[in-house]
Chain A
Amino acid sequence: MSSSSSSSSPSCPKKMITLKSSDGETFEIEEIAALQSKTLESMIDENCASTPVPLPNITGKILAKVVEYCTKHAEVGADAESLRAWDAEFVSVDHPTLFDYILAANFLEIPTLLNLACQSVADMVKGKTPDEIHKIFNIKSTFTPEEEEELRRENQWAFD
């Protein structure tokens, strides 16, 4: 393996593909980085990636971050520790953005990003009481007090 970092050797130019977000922004991503997305990988294999790939489900803001993620993870020679720290930083965003990451990662089939984002959401939920979960995700309880009491009884086994 070449000892150089992500920059390619002078003789082979980096192959880029263009992605187009739902709001019309275009982003360039190295083909190597794009291979992390199974969706993009199959498109590249079938030679459908020469023109800009439209991604109608993903906004520009999210797509920019996804490209950043894939590019970072395609780098060779990055040590695991610093990558983990980078990942932790990457997912310290607000909840709507985190959910958007999940949806984008699911659509583009990027297992590492999907796992990262899902784990992040799970960590937010773990150990929290239902009320705290209400606050975190801004969701409203739709239960009557009687229903809540019944639920508490139903789930009591988990808290003994």
Chain B
Amino acid sequence: MEIQPSFATDYLASGPRLVAAAVATALCLLLAFAFLLLSVVSSKSKKPPSSSSPSAKQPASLKACDCPCTCGSSVLDSDSDSAPMAVGKTYANGGGVVEAAAAAERQSGASMMEQLVPEITTHALSYLDYPSLCRLSMTNSLMRKAANDDNAWKALYHKDFTLEQDSVTPVNGWKAYYAATRAIVNINSDFFNIIRERSLQSMSRLWLNADYVKCVHASGELFSGYNAVIQSWQLAFNWDQGVDFQVRDVRVRVLTDMAWVTMKTFVDMDTGPFNVTNVFEFHNGQWYMVHHHSSVMLIDGDVDQQNIHG
């Protein structure tokens, strides 16, 4: 039978549901499922409710069958009473064929991804950067599983950060560990930007207001407690005439609410390079600096350059 025009507009009105419905139809045809149910669907269709249990197993299918114009096809009717998600006979034969074709095409996208065996998927994913991997995980549940793969994130971690920590098993998985590391790297960069800008206000916001925070500047002086630390930075900003420097070899280790970072800073021929260590603590949803230590780096044969021996 032909589809009535009114059904057509109904279809068009509920595009996404139609697609999902079409996919469901294709699945039905292919798998000839007889287990799933009608319930919600049956209340809207003209077909009498099937004998299967009312509880829906697949929320997606419930949504799909929300539309009055049906997801099922007449083929299903002949298969079984309780064809999954099939709403009713109202779907005509002609429509069924068209929908099946469209469904097959749409399904091919998903099945393409499915076809890629795990090793290939991981391999293919290894070419992506972290924002793309995250966006991919937001597309559908199959992609989410693939894109959240622990090994993929571990590989990305080693690519973007460091080959160290290979034997570590992060408690919340590598994706979370990557995210935390990225957060610390960002805040560490902020620290250096604050120094470049010589912004005392930003520096005072970055440090944790506690009596146990400490700062050891490259001069060798140690400052203890929030007030002393911030004052020391004020002095440093007033004194230095805005130096630029490069930060390299940043290595981060993150635990639940504490992280430390080691790095090297290179200023110019006369100054540095320095070994730097920063420690951060997590409070109230934010990372704060609690320790900074900068010391002159020993370079082979150039002992005179730095006043190591005072």
Contact A137 B135 (CB under 8 A): no
Q: Which of B23, B124, B182 contacts A140 (CB 8 A)?
A: B23
A residues contacting B by CB (< 8 A) are 95-96, 99, 102-103, 106, 114, 118-119, 121-123, 125-130, 133-134, 137-144, 148, 151-152, 155, 157-160
Task: Kindly specify which of B113-121, B228-236, B271-279 makes contact with the partner chain.
Answer: B113-121
- Counting CB contacts under 8 A, is B5 at the interface? no
Contact A99 B135 (CB under 8 A): no
How far is A134 from B16 in the complex, measured between Cα atoms in Å? 12
| CB nearest to B60 among chain A residues | A142
Contact A103 B120 (CB under 8 A): yes
| A–B Cβ pairs within 8 angstroms, 12 of them | A96-B112, A103-B120, A106-B117, A122-B124, A122-B127, A125-B136, A134-B140, A138-B106, A139-B109, A142-B142, A157-B179, A158-B135
| CB nearest to A155 among chain B residues | B134
- Counting CB contacts under 8 A, is B241 at the interface? no
Given contacts A139-B113, A157-B179, A122 and B132 within 8 Å (CB-CB): yes
How far is A138 from B125 in the complex, measured between Cα atoms in Å? 18
| CB nearest to B130 among chain A residues | A158
- Which of A125, A138, A159 lies at the interface centre, i.e. has the most chain B CB atoms within 10 A of its CB? A125
- Counting CB contacts under 8 A, is B128 at the interface? yes
Contact B105 A143 (CB under 8 A): no
Q: What is the CB-to-nearest-CB distance from A143 to chain B, in angstroms, rounded to a whole number?
A: 7
Given contacts A118-B127, A121-B124, A140-B20, A158 and B134 within 8 Å (CB-CB): yes
Q: What is the CB-to-nearest-CB distance from B96 to chain A, in angstroms, rounded to a whole number?
A: 19
- Chain A residue numbers with a CB within 8 Å of B108 are 96, 138
- Chain B residue numbers with a CB within 8 Å of A129 are 135
Contact A139 B144 (CB under 8 A): no
Q: What is the CB-to-nearest-CB distance from B280 to chain A, in angstroms, rounded to a whole number?
A: 16
How far is A157 from B177 in the complex, measured between Cα atoms in Å? 12
Contact B129 A137 (CB under 8 A): no
Contact B115 A99 (CB under 8 A): yes
Q: What is the CB-to-nearest-CB distance from A113 to chain B, in angstroms, rounded to a whole number?
A: 12
Given contacts A142-B60, A143-B140, A151-B144, A137 and B112 within 8 Å (CB-CB): yes
- Chain A residue numbers with a CB within 8 Å of B60 are 142, 144
How far is A88 from B125 in the complex, measured between Cα atoms in Å? 20
- Counting CB contacts under 8 A, is B32 at the interface? no
- Counting CB contacts under 8 A, is B50 at the interface? no
How far is A129 from B106 in the complex, measured between Cα atoms in Å? 19
How far is A127 from B141 in the complex, measured between Cα atoms in Å? 20
Contact B120 A102 (CB under 8 A): yes
| CB nearest to B135 among chain A residues | A130
| CB nearest to A144 among chain B residues | B59
Q: Which of B105, B139, B183 contacts A134 (CB 8 A)?
A: B139
How far is A130 from B110 in the complex, measured between Cα atoms in Å? 14
- Counting CB contacts under 8 A, is B258 at the interface? no
Contact B115 A126 (CB under 8 A): no
Given contacts A122-B124, A157-B182, A133 and B134 within 8 Å (CB-CB): no
Contact A102 B116 (CB under 8 A): yes
Q: What is the CB-to-nearest-CB distance from A73 to chain B, in angstroms, rounded to a whole number?
A: 19
Contact B140 A140 (CB under 8 A): yes
How far is A95 from B19 in the complex, measured between Cα atoms in Å? 20
| CB nearest to B137 among chain A residues | A155
- Chain B residue numbers with a CB within 8 Å of A103 are 115-116, 120
Q: What is the CB-to-nearest-CB distance from A52 to chain B, in angstroms, rounded to a whole number?
A: 26
How far is A96 from B107 in the complex, measured between Cα atoms in Å? 12
